[in-house]
Copies of this chain bind each other. A is one copy, B any other.
Amino acid sequence: MLWESPVCRVVRVADPNYPGFCRVIWTAHIREMTDLDAGERRSLMDVVFAVEGVIRSLFAPDKINLASFGNVVPHVHWHVIPRWQEDRHFPEPIWGTVQREGRPGAPTVDDATLADALSRALGGSTQ
């Protein structure tokens, strides 16, 4: 857990190919974004975009990818993924065909640093 509020939490995804990959998970069991009301959607997207901003500032990726699928687990959550031109799938989405044995030349950022940056961006509780 990197950050949490009463309505959602931010976790880091342990994928060695994608350092900095985070997930924002809505706490209540909701299937689709349009099952939330407008205020709830706004709260959630504010967190998603704050996570994007923090990842950009700490990892300086070539691109940010955002996605909400929920095909396997139909519970609203967002993937926030920093991408590098030399990463494993670029320019494909990370669910696409492997392009190379890529490892991005991303800076090493530990969980505490990431959690602190999220807490500064979003306020509220941290790990």
Q: Which of B68, B69, B83 contacts A71 (CB 8 A)?
A: B83
A interface secondary structure, majority: mixed
The reply to whether the CB of A14 lies closer than 8 angstroms to some CB of chain B is no
Q: Which bracket fits the contact residues of A?
A: 20 to 34
Instruction: Kindly specify which of A15-23, A41-49, A104-112 makes contact with the partner chain.
Output: A41-49
User: Using a CB-CB cutoff of 8 Å, which residues 90-104 of chain A contact chain B?
Assistant: 90-93, 95-96
- Contact residues in B for A72 (Cβ distance below 8 Å): 91
- Docked pose: A70 CA to B67 CA in angstroms: 12
- Contact residues in B for A91 (Cβ distance below 8 Å): 71-72
- Beyond A45-B41, A95-B93, whether A69 also contacts B63 by CB under 8 A is yes
The reply to whether the CB of A64 lies closer than 8 angstroms to some CB of chain B is yes
- Docked pose: A15 CA to B20 CA in angstroms: 32
Residues of A at the B interface (CB closer than 8 Å) are: 31-34, 41-42, 45, 49, 52-53, 56, 63-72, 74, 83, 90-93, 95-96
